[in-house]
Amino acid sequence: MSVGQPLDRVDGRAKVTGGARYTTEHPLTNVAHAALVMSTIARGRIASVDTRPAESVRGVLAVLTHVNAPRLPAASRSGDHPPRPSDRVLQLLQDDVVRYANQPVAVVVAETLEAAHEAAGLVRVAYATDKHDVRLEPRLAEARPPKHAGRPDQPPASAQGDVDAALAEAEVKLEQVYRTPFETHVPMEPHATIAVWEGPARLTLYDATQGIFGCRQRVADLLGLKPDDVHVISPYLGGGFGSKGPTWSHVVLAAMAARRVNRPVKLALRRPQTFGPVGFRSRTRQAIALGARRDGTLTAVRHDTIAQTSSFDEFMEPASVAARMLYASPSIATSHKLVRSDIGTPSYMRAPGWAPGSYALECALDELAGALDMDPLALRLKNYADQDPDTHRPWSSKTLRECYRVGAERFGWNRRPRAPRAQRDGRALLGWGMATSVYPTHRSKAAARARLTADGLLHVDSGSQDLGTGTYTVMTQVAADALGVPPARVVFRLGDTTFPETPVSGGSQTAASVGSAVHAAVTALREKVIALAVGDARSPLHGLAAGDVGVADGRLSARGAAGRGETLQALAARHGEIEAGGEARPGDEEKQFAMYAFGAQFAEVRIDADLGMLRVSRMVGVFDIGRALNAKLARSQLMGGMVWGIGMALHEDTVMDERLGRIVNNNLAEYHVPVNADVPAIEVAWIEGADAHANPIGVKGIGEIGITGAAAAVANAVYHATGRRVRDLPITLDKLL
């Protein structure tokens, strides 16, 4: 078995030797370079654009503005909401309206990158400025319910039992408001596209996208092309975290620019240009009310979230959804509302809703534990949900109880003093906190194609994407086991719309969706190969029943008589290439079961008692993730999520200058994410065991679960260290003085 083993990344060598080509690195000839000009006001109109100084820069080929840009098909120009919920309304130089600061308002194309950027700096845009408002808090009264809570299958509000009555009668009650900031994804690789017109209506896009097929469809819709005539290629990504899920304006603008200059055009966003126009996590204001009996039994849970969206599009950061299902309670009510602001449209960011929601809910549980003088972990166990409180369905699997137990043991939780501010180490105050992690297990329809070639290699192709998470590697392992060959005999390809169709790499669904499809395709190939062997007079296996033939380590053999058989290579050499396709789609399991990954996180912080300087000094995370396809990659993914949790708790904050409506810290120097010095030894573990119901390969998604609960564990540790409850992330030094 290869699945489960800590196999090194199969693309590791290509990555460290520079052989792996990221979007901007595809070697095309005659490529022109594009640079975007962004709006400097948050709301208004473009009064005039002077492009002459830009056009006079040597090497400039074209300057596209709303005045001269090609008109897109009428359907694309209208402000109507696009057809799919993950599609965003874009800014494609179709009108003079400025809807947010850092909106693309012109595209410069030049022979060189340097000329393009120099000229972009010379485009003079004059604005007729309108009064803007980028704030959330002063406008809460204007908040309105969204169409849905982040996903069409998640309604904006929910109600079970009578929360008001339960709160009125509760022996112990907690009501608090928690706030999370505007957060930006900042993947290592900024967004980038190369657009190549292969003919008047045929387009190839090299694009840094988490969803090649969604990109194909969206671009085809907007440019009036047939999806089959748009070819999207994306073999490697330098992270995405959701920001490369939807197709954003620059992708279409690159295609428009390439058409204008009749050459391939490369457009890479500069780091500051990724703050606003390509999605972010909205700030949230979360009001939580909990009611409980003296013994800790929850009687009421209320969680109301208000977040921001843009003036022209709708995206809800669904922070209240975790409260619907995480703890048993006879009454649970949740809601979501949106305030429209003069900002870009927020979008999916690692564990949308679940990350900020678990922060607030898990801090509220910690506060309730304090009010009850109860151990925070005991409070969670007291309210452990044995079935889904929302749908009343059984869990597809749930080993959260073991996660709590193993995590507490490894962390040493039972040595934790109940009272805050009770542990010191020299000048440092020490605090311990814990929280629950949770993230839904999704999958979507996916397909794959498998070929056994005459050289005995197994080739598997499936659309999909690898964000840097290890898709190449885990699919190689799944394919290897499904046929019975060593992983080294598998060549897995992805990131190309000529391959079988797959979903967006979002919602932690790639392993479940594509893995199940790869498993189906290779299993079909295996059956085909065995059928060929038993029907082939030249095969030693001729005449056997298919069920009596096994495949292991690249060799077909008779069951019970391992000596009788031949290699896959020998069979393929006689028959030539053997091919099979496979598909996997969600079935009834979604109606029968509630499917979630869970986890328990524990954090220790050290705070300089005088100066407020804070460091996370230890973290333990134990997760319920079904089957881990690759122990090394699973650990890295979970740990990466936990590191994001540290950033969410202590660092990340996109700061707006409210007077200008512009982002102040639009760079990696001032938009703080944790660096090595902020990340302690992190212990990651999981409870072994496949989920028997969620999908054919028994996995739960692991890309997002690690961030959920992590910020709360840290925040709860800060309270335990200092006795101060900060309900407004990030927990920076100024809030602790």
Partner 1 sequence: MRDRNSYAFALISVAAALDLDGQGVIRQARLALGGVAHKPWRVAEAEQRLVGQRPGDGAWRAAAEAAVAGARPRRDNVFKVELARRSIARALATTAALT
Catalytic residue numbers read 704
| Shortest separation between residue 504's beta carbon and partner 1, angstroms | 32
**Cβ-based neighbours of 380, under 8 Å, separated by 6 or more:** 327, 365, 404, 436
SS3 224: coil
Nearer to partner 1, 142 or 658 (CB): 658
Q: Max Cα separation, the chain?
A: 84
Q: How many CB atoms lie within 10 A of CB 141?
A: 6
- Residues belonging to the chain: 737
| Shortest separation between residue 664's beta carbon and partner 1, angstroms | 11
- Nearest by Cα to 330 from 404, 392, 286: 392
| Shortest separation between residue 613's beta carbon and partner 1, angstroms | 7
| Shortest separation between residue 736's beta carbon and partner 1, angstroms | 9
Query: Any idea what DSSP says for residue 323?
Result: G
Nearer to partner 1, 1 or 669 (CB): 669
Separation between Cα atoms, residue 596 and residue 149, nearest integer Å: 17
| Shortest separation between residue 667's beta carbon and partner 1, angstroms | 11
| Shortest separation between residue 735's beta carbon and partner 1, angstroms | 8
Locate the DSSP E strands across 14-103.
Answer: 32-38, 44-50, 60-65, 97-98
Q: Kindly state the helix (H) or strand (E) to which residue 263 belongs, with its residue range.
A: none
Nearer to partner 1, 434 or 650 (CB): 650
- Nearest by Cα to 191 from 75, 263, 276: 276
Nearer to partner 1, 147 or 424 (CB): 424
**Cβ-based neighbours of 658, under 8 Å, separated by 6 or more:** 134, 135
Nearer to partner 1, 283 or 451 (CB): 283
Nearer to partner 1, 34 or 711 (CB): 711
| Shortest separation between residue 127's beta carbon and partner 1, angstroms | 27
Q: How many CA atoms lie within 13 A of 588 on its CB side?
A: 1
Nearer to partner 1, 192 or 650 (CB): 650
Separation between Cα atoms, residue 518 and residue 692, nearest integer Å: 18
Nearer to partner 1, 410 or 672 (CB): 672
Residue type present at position 219 = V
Burial class (CB in 10 A: 0-12, 13-18, 19+), 410: middle
User: What are the two backbone dihedrals, phi and then psi, of residue 447, each rounded to the nearest 5 degrees?
Assistant: -135, 160
Interface residues toward partner 1, by CB under 8 A: 610-613, 615, 650-651, 669-670, 672, 674-678, 732-734, 737
- Nearest by Cα to 434 from 355, 362, 326, 354: 362
| Shortest separation between residue 732's beta carbon and partner 1, angstroms | 5
Residue linked to tokens 């022996």: 171
**C-beta of residue 730 within 8 angstroms of C-beta of residue 649:** yes
- Kindly tell me the number of DSSP H helices and DSSP E strands found in the chain: 16, 29
Cα of first residue to Cα of last residue in the chain, in angstroms, is: 54
**C-beta of residue 679 within 8 angstroms of C-beta of residue 646:** yes
**C-beta of residue 550 within 8 angstroms of C-beta of residue 559:** yes
Which tokens in the block code for residue 490?
């598998």
Separation between Cα atoms, residue 5 and residue 639, nearest integer Å: 18
**C-beta of residue 569 within 8 angstroms of C-beta of residue 519:** no
Distances (CA, A) of 247 to 106, 219, 700: 18, 8, 26
| Shortest separation between residue 429's beta carbon and partner 1, angstroms | 15
Residue linked to tokens 């934790």: 416
To 10 degrees, what angle do helices 710-722 and 354-372 make?
30
Locate the DSSP E strands across 13-82.
Answer: 32-38, 44-50, 60-65
| Shortest separation between residue 182's beta carbon and partner 1, angstroms | 16
Nearer to partner 1, 3 or 650 (CB): 650
Nearer to partner 1, 588 or 734 (CB): 734
Nearer to partner 1, 550 or 723 (CB): 723
Nearest 10 degrees: CA dihedral of 328, 641, 440, 396? Answer: -80
| Shortest separation between residue 55's beta carbon and partner 1, angstroms | 38
